[in-house]
Structure 1
Amino acid sequence: MRTLRSPGWESDEYGPAVESALAQFLAEKQRAAVTPQVGMFVGWLREFLAGGKYLRPLVCCYGWLAADGGGRLSDQVVGVAASLELFHAFALIHDDVMDGSDLRRGRPAAHRRIAACHSGHRDAERLGVNTAILLGDLALGWSFELVHAAGLNTSQAAVVWPLLDAMRVATMSGQYLDLAAAGDADLDAALAIARYKTAAYTVDYPLRVGAALAGAGPQLLSACSTYGTALGEAFQLHDDLLGVFGDPEHTGKPAIDDLRTGKHTALLAVALHNADPDQRRVLDQLVGDPDLDEPGADRVRSILTATGARATVEDMIADRHHRALTALAPDLFAPAAADRLRQLAAAAVDKARAEDSRSKPAATQAVPEP
């Protein structure tokens, strides 16, 4: 997923606390290394983490704030929130391997960076891919360690561990659906991918985990899930737009990779559903072509706009933004948390509009969601 800046990340008091906890954890891993390779892995993880915005940890902290209403974070929520950033690192590193992506956050993806470090090896590219898989595995394992080290009491552990287990299963399921999806007009399949692969571990579960750490009751946890699912889907829909129409200078990834890999998105599903025979032939010919060039990509972009797919996805983002805001009931959410969650929801909508550097034609076809 392309980075969506968390609201007020630079000034948010929660960000530095989580970042410091993660830095201390990695420093201890390096200090107590059981093999010489650990320092190498820690170095690559530090490089990778340096470009992140810690969205998931912050959402976890906002969940805690929603239930607690106080200001100072507990050690438990800091540790668990930090674990979510390592889980995110694992997911992105493996996702880039599966997608064959060259860039992440404007820099070489982990497998490309590792291959460059072994340029003298007889098969540096294969070594880079295989080592990146190991690096992702290590990040996943260390995310477990951070939760174990957070000092959860019995009641916290009884609620939090099942949530984290469910989050991992949902993410893996969504990743499988993404890999297995065919390039067709199945909007439901595209939205299922968005729900499981992105919404689950980006907003829904992190928010619920944070609230659970503060002792939230069933009503608040349910409202957190409603908010998180809606906004998480909005994030993925926004990501789909940026994957085709975004400015690589801002997103850190080429705006052609999704088209070259034929990624099954809601944007493409709507376009295929609405395309006339000529438009369908062009989409079938160009989307999924690993050698697609920019002129070809521009032809696809024009069809995505002409069929109303782009406008439909923008409407879907607005709809999910509204659902997320509706879930923030004032009798459930502490005011400070509700305010930050509203800012986060606004960022999903604003980014979908503001980060797109490609101008639209004067008229687009308005198409209802199939």
Structure 2
Amino acid sequence: MTGPHTREVPPPRGRVGTPAADEAFRTRVDNALAAFAAAKRAQLADISPDLVPFVDAAIDFVAGGKRLRPLFCRAGWLIAGGEPDLVGFDDAAASLEWLQGSALAHDDLMDGSDTRRGRPSLHRAFEQTHRADGLRGSAERHGAAAAILLGDLMLSWVDEQFRASDLPHLGDALPWLDRCKTEVAAGQYLDVLAQGRANVDVEQAMLVVRFKSAKYTVERPLHIGAALAGADAELLAQLSAVALPLGEAFQLRDDVLGVFGQPATTGKPAGDDLREGKRTVLIARTAELGNDADRLAIEKLLGTAEGVADLTELIERTGALAAVEADIARLEFQARSALEALPDPASDILDTLVGMVTRRDR
């Protein structure tokens, strides 16, 4: 494998924390993922040529993302005094994309999602391959098995690429990475459990938000990056005060986009969360603000394709959409207020990311 300190790094473009600098870092993350994946491809090709399309599917699956987790990891690293252009750090930050890929592969399978980022989800893509190759047995079971295995493989790559960074404080950061992986699995299970319950209130739905998304999207990447730079406990706690409300705002925005987002932008059909029966905060707010008839409608329509339009109208009519937008604004204000307590230049580093998380359209 290419060593962690041997790749050529593009020169930084623009001040740290600016869109230009963030875009330059995304390119570095892409390069780190490509170098790691090339080594994995060669390793698996030696076992069997049948594994080449398997590993290529993982590489394609993590392409084109927003790179939010690496960006927050970098923010924590810079706030704690890490060198902006240290090549080894790129591997550590990029490894979080494999965690994202693993979580999405499994999440799409559990939800029965057909698409991801405008393309077939992994299990659907492998179903198509099964049919195209004329394989025997169930295409659905083949697709599910392949998605589970590929998700597991990407999860193992998180640790492998993270350790390849070989940074001086790697041992300090590993416990935060371990927590991150444990918490996202816990959040996923709480989400699965919520789908089986007749009623999920706002507090229960927010618990899923915190552990399925907020912690592993914002808080733990910030902690990992800061720990890699030798941050102390006080700074880590200050980062949490910013990260948790910001991460919760991120997922609430995701909930809104899952119902009201434009498919051409989000890469998923409008109303997908409603069709899949997701017990999101948006649905919990609708039940909370609606009347008995509204709550009966939720029970009848949630999780059905034919109920999407009526539920969308119900979410707006009850004021649930406005309430969740108010929640997002409140959480963003809370995060920005906590940001003021961080040492300079934290505000410059995080400011662009705060807006990217709360005011996005995909």
- Shared topology, TM-score over 0.5? yes
The 2-side partners of 1:162 and 1:11 are apart by 26
SS at match of 1:12: helix
Partner of 2:359: 350
Residues 1:35 and 2:47 are matched in the alignment: yes
The 2-side partners of 1:24 and 1:132 are apart by 23
> Structure 2 matches for 1:109-148, cutoff 5 A?
109-119=121-131, 120-122=134-136, 123-148=138-163
**In 2 relative to 1, CA 7–139 (structure 1 residues): closer, same or farther, beyond 3 Å?**
farther
The 2-side partners of 1:277 and 1:309 are apart by 15
The 1-side partners of 2:80 and 2:296 are apart by 53
Q: Is the 8 A contact 2:72 2:218 kept in 1?
A: yes
What is the deviation of 1:281? 2.1
The CA RMSD over aligned residues, in Å, is 1.9
**In 2 relative to 1, CA 247–212 (structure 1 residues): closer, same or farther, beyond 3 Å?**
same
Code of the aligned partner of 2:102:
F
What is the deviation of 1:184? 1.6
Partner of 2:120: 108
The 2-side partners of 1:280 and 1:9 are apart by 47
The 2-side partners of 1:247 and 1:9 are apart by 26
Q: Is the 8 A contact 1:7 1:344 kept in 2?
A: no
Partner of 1:285: 300
What is the deviation of 1:117? 1.4
1:15 to 15, 26, 41: 26
SS at match of 1:166: helix
> Structure 2 matches for 1:156-167, cutoff 5 A?
156-167=169-180
Residues 318-357 of structure 1 deviation map (CA, whole Å, 9 limit, x = unaligned): 1110111112136x3442x422412221223322xxx39x
Residues 1:305 and 2:316 are matched in the alignment: yes
**In 2 relative to 1, CA 229–183 (structure 1 residues): closer, same or farther, beyond 3 Å?**
farther
Q: Is the 8 A contact 1:69 1:334 kept in 2?
A: no
> Structure 2 matches for 1:313-324, cutoff 5 A?
313-324=324-335
SS at match of 1:263: coil
**In 2 relative to 1, CA 333–117 (structure 1 residues): closer, same or farther, beyond 3 Å?**
farther
Identity over aligned residues, as a percent?
A: 43
Structure 1, 29-38 or 80-89: larger mean CA deviation: 29-38
Residues 118-142 of structure 1 deviation map (CA, whole Å, 9 limit, x = unaligned): 2122322210111111000000011
1:175 to 188, 197, 208: 188
The 2-side partners of 1:69 and 1:138 are apart by 30
Q: Is the 8 A contact 2:332 2:354 kept in 1?
A: yes
2:273 to 258, 269, 278: 258
What is the deviation of 1:62? 1.1
Partner of 1:361: none
Partner of 1:92: 104
Partner of 2:9: none
Code of the aligned partner of 2:205:
A
The 2-side partners of 1:15 and 1:288 are apart by 36
SS at match of 1:304: helix
What is the deviation of 1:39? 1.9
**In 2 relative to 1, CA 329–69 (structure 1 residues): closer, same or farther, beyond 3 Å?**
farther
Partner of 2:252: 237
What is the deviation of 1:70? 4.4
Code of the aligned partner of 1:246:
G
Residues 1:188 and 2:199 are matched in the alignment: no
The 2-side partners of 1:83 and 1:346 are apart by 24
Code of the aligned partner of 2:25:
Y
What is the deviation of 1:221? 0.9
What is the deviation of 1:22? 1.1
Q: Is the 8 A contact 1:67 1:334 kept in 2?
A: no
Structure-2-length-normalised TM-score? 0.89
Q: Is the 8 A contact 1:208 1:221 kept in 2?
A: yes
Code of the aligned partner of 1:84:
L
What is the deviation of 1:79? 1.5
**In 2 relative to 1, CA 130–7 (structure 1 residues): closer, same or farther, beyond 3 Å?**
farther
Residues 1:152 and 2:167 are matched in the alignment: yes
Q: Is the 8 A contact 1:67 1:333 kept in 2?
A: no
Q: Is the 8 A contact 1:99 1:261 kept in 2?
A: yes
SS at match of 2:337: helix
2:84 to 61, 67, 71: 71
Partner of 2:228: 213
What is the deviation of 1:231? 0.9
What is the deviation of 1:9? 7.2
Residues 1:326 and 2:337 are matched in the alignment: yes
**In 2 relative to 1, CA 284–90 (structure 1 residues): closer, same or farther, beyond 3 Å?**
same
Structure-1-length-normalised TM-score? 0.87
Code of the aligned partner of 2:28:
A
Runs of 5+ unmatched residues, structure 1? 1-5, 357-370
The 2-side partners of 1:137 and 1:267 are apart by 31
The 2-side partners of 1:185 and 1:25 are apart by 42
Residues 1:339 and 2:354 are matched in the alignment: no
Residues 194-220 of structure 1 deviation map (CA, whole Å, 9 limit, x = unaligned): 000001110000011101111112221
SS at match of 1:194: helix
Runs of 5+ unmatched residues, structure 2? 1-16
The 1-side partners of 2:314 and 2:322 are apart by 12
